[in-house]
Every structure is written in structure tokens, then in C-alpha cells.
């Protein structure tokens, strides 16, 4: 008797049809989808942080951001019970072997998120002799979250990307994750302390640092225009604008461009979008307080000698009072063209009732919190800012503590320490109790 003819396989359902069935309470799924769904919603991170980024990671687990919504609130104190290693902070070379050891102690399937510039590349300490230039030299990283530090929302976004990645994995075949491959997942090499560096300096199975070509054969670095050139191109585009190059006489000679409030937003957009500049990144925005100050100016004039001798140079000194103002200062770089910084300044009319300048947050999103900080601490009002509230101090707090003439009130809890300056201040503020304080 011959075998019956195989019945034709049912036609595959489209995603829309499956969604429609789901809405009616009918769940059609396969083992792979179910397995990936379960794993992606129960990623338990290791309770482990390294530096400032860890504070943001901790915030992500608190009520406001609530990582529990993603099934990842169970921060495990033991690597044996964790699926996710969040490298949140600077990895020093001294710490790197311990980090790799923790990773090796975590059971598969496991994942790694490099959170922040330090974990990705060494960040602000990249040039340091003691800082690892990226944890992915030793550990396979699934998700990179840029920022210094990335905010909790960025971590949650990274977690959602990780969930997406897990849901897209196969449980068989060559695309299967490493722990389902023949032979299982190998342990990562734990580096040892060598004479001047870690040995090996990276795990070639995992780490692929960028190849830097130096000297001959290196791509030419395009020098950025000078501030004068940038200024003249801005003026060609916005002839009505007022722009001044403010010289910095210090050794750094970091000169800056002072722009007027009317054209500030348009100039900022120009700097961001101009193909030669592409200043796509504002690394820092801050405030500066310039109280009214007296400056001495000297002028030299040549006068004829009444006795008929050679002309004389007479120097006249005059004192002039410069009224006070506040400045918002922005440091701009081009990540695309690898140049910068261009330092931009906006100046208020005074320090009292003309303290508004346009917000540059709509141009560079990274200004948002830093403009809020300048608003809070210096009292600069940023028109058009999406959420201008105090940042460090509470709304009811009076005054702006970074102003140079700010005087702390006497009615807050204040504990003097026995240093000369502080003690003198304490005597002034608390004459009665200061008598009992032993002299320094
Ligand atoms: S990336 Fe920035 S915030 Fe994060 S650890 Fe490094 S220095 Fe700190």
C-alpha cells in the first residue's frame, strides 16, 4: 500500500491577520516566537555600576522611569542570576579584569549594554593611560548607548532595542545566538595586568578597535575655517546681523563669536547646516556673569612740543564703567567633519530686566538641560525653550547662586568646617557661637 499523499501545508498568515486573530483572543505562535518573547521581557540586569552613568541607570529603576514596565526591574546581586550586564561608567584598566570575570560568571543567554561614552570608547578619559578604550575590546556588546551620561530614557530605549534584537533571533541554524551554536559560547579572555598595559590589550575574538592610520596614507584632516572667515560668511548670509569676534587673551586663545539675539537662531541653524562647518553637536552650554566693572583705557596722542622740539606722545588714562550683563556660551563641534570647537556667545542687555536671549535648544537638543541650568543658576531666560524650569534649585528658591554677587542667606543649615576662610565667615555670620569655636 502506498503512503497517502501529504496534505498541502496551510497558507502562511500575514502579520496583519495574526494581529487580527490576537484581537479576538486567538494566539497563533511558534516555539521560537514564544521563547524569544519570554526572554525579551525578562531581562534581569546585574546590580553593578562603575561611575556617573550608574546614577542614570539607578534613576531608570526608580518610580519616575520605572524599568519594571519592561520586565527588567530585578537587578540581581549575583552574576549567576543575571542576563544583562550594563556597563554604566568608566572602565579603568584596573577594573577591566573584574568586569570580564563578572561577564564570564553570567549564564547564557546573556547580553551586554555599553552605556555612555566611557563604556563605549573611554569617553572623556579616552587619552588616559589608565582607562579602557571601550569594553567591547573584551566583551561582546549588543547595544551601545551614546551620551555623557545618557539619560534614563536613553537606557530604556537601549533596553527596547535589545528586546527587539532578542525577538529577531532564531533558535536554530547559523543565525542562532552563540549559546545555541555547536560547542556553546566560549568564555571571554580575562586580561592580566602587564607592565604598562593590560595583556592582551584586547580579545581579538571580540574587540575590533578602529584602525588608525597615521602619517603617510592617513586621510587628510580638513582644517576648520578661522573665526574671522566664519564671521564673514555669516555676514554674507545675514547682512543685518551683528557679530563680533571676542578675543581670549589667555594661553588657550579660545576666541569666540558674539552674536546678536535677533539673528541668534538663524545663525545657529546656519552653523549646524552649512556643509563646510556642519556643527552638529553642542557639547556644552553654560552661563557667565559679568557684573558692572570699571576698566581703565589709555589713549596716546601726539602733541607738538611748544619749545620747538620733536613731537611728544602723551598718554591719557580714563576710567570707564562697563554695565553688567550675562552671557550664554555654547561649545560647538562637528562630529561629521571632526572639527571644532566654535565657541558662540549670546549676551543679555543687563543683569536685571533684560535677561532674555533666544534658546538654542531647538537647534541643538543637547542644550536643553544646560540652558535650564544657566536659567536656574545665572537667571538667563531662554525664549523658546521647550521646558524652562529650575533644574538644581526648587521653584520657590530666590536668586541665582552662580551670580558673582550672590550672598547666601543666614537662615539655612550651614556647618562651618575649621578652615581659615570658612571660620572667618562663620564668625561673621554666627558671632555668638563662633566665640566657642577654637581658633584655627
Ligand atoms: S560617560 Fe560621562 S557620565 Fe558616563 S561615566 Fe563617563 S564621564 Fe561619567
CATH of the domain at 107: 3.40.50.12280
pLDDT above 70 coverage of the chain, percent: 90
The answer to whether the CB of 359 is under 6 A from ligand 1 is: no
Q: Are residues 422 and 289 in the same domain?
A: no
The Å distance, Cα 398 to ligand 1 centre, comes to 31
Residue 392 lies inside a defined structural domain of this protein: no
Q: What is the pLDDT of residues 8-53, one digit of tens each?
A: 565 677 888 888 988 898 888 888 888 899 999 999 999 999 999 9
- Choose the residue to mutate in 57, 128, 149, 154 for probing ligand 1, maximizing ligand atoms within 8 Å of C-beta: 149
Structural domain boundaries, residue 428: 410-440
- 249 assigned to some structural domain: yes
Q: Tell me the CA–centroid distance for residue 122 and ligand 1, in Å.
A: 9
Specify the range with the lowest mean pLDDT, choosing from 237-246, 263-272, 293-302, 366-375: 293-302
What is the structure's pLDDT at 324? 97
Atom of ligand 1 nearest to the CA of 51: 5
* 262 and 324 together in one domain: yes
Residues 190 and 233 in one domain: no
Q: Is the pLDDT assigned to residue 283 strictly greater than 70?
A: yes
pLDDT over threshold 90, residue 433: no
pLDDT at 439: 45
Residue 409 CA to residue 424 CA, distance in Å, equals 16
What pLDDT is stored for residue 241 in this prediction? 97
251 and 367 in a common domain: yes
Considering the domain boundaries, does residue 12 fall inside one? no
Q: 190 and 62, same structural domain?
A: yes
Q: Render pLDDT for 148-204 as a digit per residue (tens, 0 to 9).
A: 999 999 999 999 999 999 998 888 887 787 777 777 778 899 999 998 899 998 888
**Has residue 430 been placed in a domain?**
yes
Instruction: Please work out whether the CB of residue 53 comes within 6 Å of at least one atom of ligand 1.
Output: yes
Tell whether 321 and 426 lie within a shared domain.
no
Cβ 149 under 6 angstroms from ligand 1: yes
Instruction: Please tell me whether residues 52 and 133 are part of one structural domain.
Output: yes
Measured in angstroms, how far is the CA atom of residue 203 from the centroid of ligand 1?
24
Q: What does the mean pLDDT of the chain come to?
A: 89
Minimum-distance ligand 1 atom for the alpha carbon of 116: 1
- Ligand 1 contacts CB of residue 341 (under 6 A): no
Write down the pLDDT at residue 1: 44
Residue 81 in any domain: the answer is: yes
Whether 179 and 254 map to the same domain: the answer is no
State how beta strands 84-88 and 111-115 pair: parallel
Flag whether 396 is in a domain.
no
Q: Whose CA is nearest to atom 3 of ligand 1?
A: 149
Which pLDDT value is given to residue 414?
A: 66
Ligand 1 centroid vs 68 CA: distance in angstroms?
A: 24
For cell 527587539, name the residue: 164
Q: Give the lowest-confidence range in 18-22, 75-79, 429-433.
A: 429-433
The owner of cell 540652558 is 371
Does residue 124 form part of some domain? yes
Query: Looking at the predicted structure, is the pLDDT value of residue 94 above 60?
Result: yes
> What's the CA gap between 48 and 85, in Å, rounded?
8
In this structure, are 341 and 416 located in the same domain?
no
332 touches 281 (CB < 8 A)? yes
Other residues' Cβ atoms within 10 Å of the Cβ of residue 51: 18
Position 436 pLDDT exceeds 70? no
What is the dihedral angle through the alpha carbons of 137, 91, 106, 191, rounded to the nearest 10 degrees? 50
Three cell numbers written together for 272:
549646524
| Whole-number Cα distances in Å, 215 to 209, 212, 218, 219, 221 | 19, 10, 6, 9, 11
CA of 329 to the centre of ligand 1 (A): 22
More confident residue, 119 or 303: 119
For range 269-298, the mean pLDDT: 94
Mutate to test the pocket of ligand 1, among 49, 89, 128 (most ligand atoms within 8 A of CB): 89
Instruction: Using the 3D structure, point to which of 153, 181, 199 is the last residue of a domain.
Output: 199
- Number of other CB atoms surrounding residue 346 within 10 Å: 24
In a domain, 417, yes or no: yes
- Percent of the chain at pLDDT exceeding 90: 62
Q: Is the shortest distance between the CB of 152 and ligand 1 below 6 Å?
A: no
pLDDT at 220: 65
Regarding whether 110 and 234 lie in a shared domain, the answer is: no
Number of domains in the chain: 3
CB 79 within 8 A of CB 108: no
The answer on 315 and 174 residing in a single domain is no
Q: Of 368, 383, 398, which one is at a domain's C-terminal end?
A: 383
pLDDT in tens, 193-227: 998 899 998 888 887 777 766 667 766 666 899 99
Say yes or no to pLDDT of 140 above 50. yes
> How much is the CA Rg of the chain, to the nearest whole Å?
31
Q: Whose CA is nearest to atom 8 of ligand 1?
A: 52
Q: Considering only 127-131, 226-230, 282-286, which range has the smallest mean pLDDT?
A: 127-131
Task: Verify that 43 and 123 share a domain, yes or no.
Answer: yes
Give the domain CATH number at 337.
3.30.460.80
Amino acid at each position: 500500500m502506498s503512503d497517502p499523499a501529504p496534505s498541502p501545508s496551510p497558507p502562511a498568515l500575514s502579520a496583519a491577520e495574526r494581529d487580527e486573530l490576537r484581537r479576538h483572543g486567538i494566539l497563533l505562535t511558534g516555539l521560537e516566537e514564544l521563547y524569544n518573547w519570554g526572554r525579551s521581557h525578562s531581562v534581569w540586569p546585574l546590580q553593578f555600576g562603575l561611575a556617573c552613568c550608574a546614577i542614570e541607570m539607578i534613576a531608570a529603576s526608580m518610580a519616575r522611569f520605572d524599568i519594571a514596565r519592561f520586565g527588567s526591574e530585578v537587578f540581581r546581586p549575583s552574576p549567576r542570576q543575571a542576563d544583562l550586564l550594563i556597563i554604566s561608567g568608566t572602565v579603568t584598566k584596573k577594573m577591566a579584569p573584574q568586569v570580564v570575570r563578572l561577564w564570564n560568571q553570567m549564564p547564557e543567554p546573556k547580553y551586554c549594554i555599553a552605556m555612555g561614552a566611557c563604556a563605549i570608547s573611554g569617553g572623556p578619559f579616552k587619552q588616559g593611560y589608565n582607562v579602557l578604550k571601550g569594553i567591547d575590546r573584551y566583551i561582546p556588546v549588543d547595544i551601545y548607548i551614546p551620551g555623557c551620561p545618557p539619560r534614563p530614557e536613553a537606557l530604556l530605549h537601549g533596553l527596547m532595542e535589545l528586546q527587539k534584537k532578542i525577538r529577531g533571533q532564531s533558535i536554530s541554524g547559523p543565525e542562532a545566538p552563540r549559546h545555541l551554536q555547536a560547542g556553546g559560547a566560549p568564555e571571554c579572555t580575562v586580561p592580566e595586568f602587564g607592565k604598562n598595559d593590560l595583556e592582551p590589550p584586547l580579545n581579538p575574538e571580540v574587540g575590533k578597535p578602529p584602525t588608525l592610520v597615521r602619517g603617510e596614507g592617513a586621510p587628510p584632516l580638513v582644517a576648520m575655517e578661522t573665526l574671522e572667515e566664519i564671521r564673514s560668511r555669516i555676514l554674507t548670509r545675514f547682512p543685518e546681523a551683528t557679530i563680533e569676534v571676542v578675543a581670549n587673551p589667555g594661553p588657550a586663545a579660545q576666541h569666540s563669536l558674539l552674536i546678536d539675539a535677533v539673528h541668534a537662531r538663524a545663525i545657529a541653524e546656519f552653523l549646524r547646516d552649512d556643509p563646510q562647518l556642519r556643527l552638529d553637536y553642542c557639547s556644552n552650554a553654560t552661563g557667565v556673569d559679568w557684573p558692572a566693572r570699571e576698566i581703565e583705557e589709555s589713549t596716546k596722542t601726539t602733541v607738538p612740543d611748544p619749545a620747538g622740539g620733536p613731537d611728544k606722545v602723551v598718554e591719557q588714562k580714563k576710567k570707564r564703567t562697563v554695565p553688567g550683563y550675562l552671557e550664554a556660551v555654547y561649545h560647538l563641534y562637528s562630529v561629521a567633519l571632526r572639527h571644532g570647537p566654535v565657541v558662540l556667545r549670546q549676551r543679555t542687555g543687563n543683569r536685571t530686566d533684560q535677561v532674555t536671549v533666544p534658546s538654542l535648544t531647538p537647534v541643538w537638543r543637547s542644550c536643553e538641560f544646560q540652558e535650564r541650568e544657566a536659567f536656574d543658576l545665572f537667571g538667563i531666560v531662554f525664549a523658546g525653550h521647550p521646558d524652562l524650569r529650575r533644574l538644581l534649585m526648587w521653584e520657590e528658591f530666590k536668586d541665582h547662586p552662580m551670580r558673582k554677587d550672590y550672598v547666601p542667606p543666614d537662615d539655612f543649615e550651614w556647618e562651618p568646617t575649621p578652615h581659615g576662610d570658612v571660620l572667618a565667615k562663620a564668625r561673621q555670620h554666627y558671632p555668638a557661637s563662633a566665640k566657642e569655636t577654637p581658633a584655627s
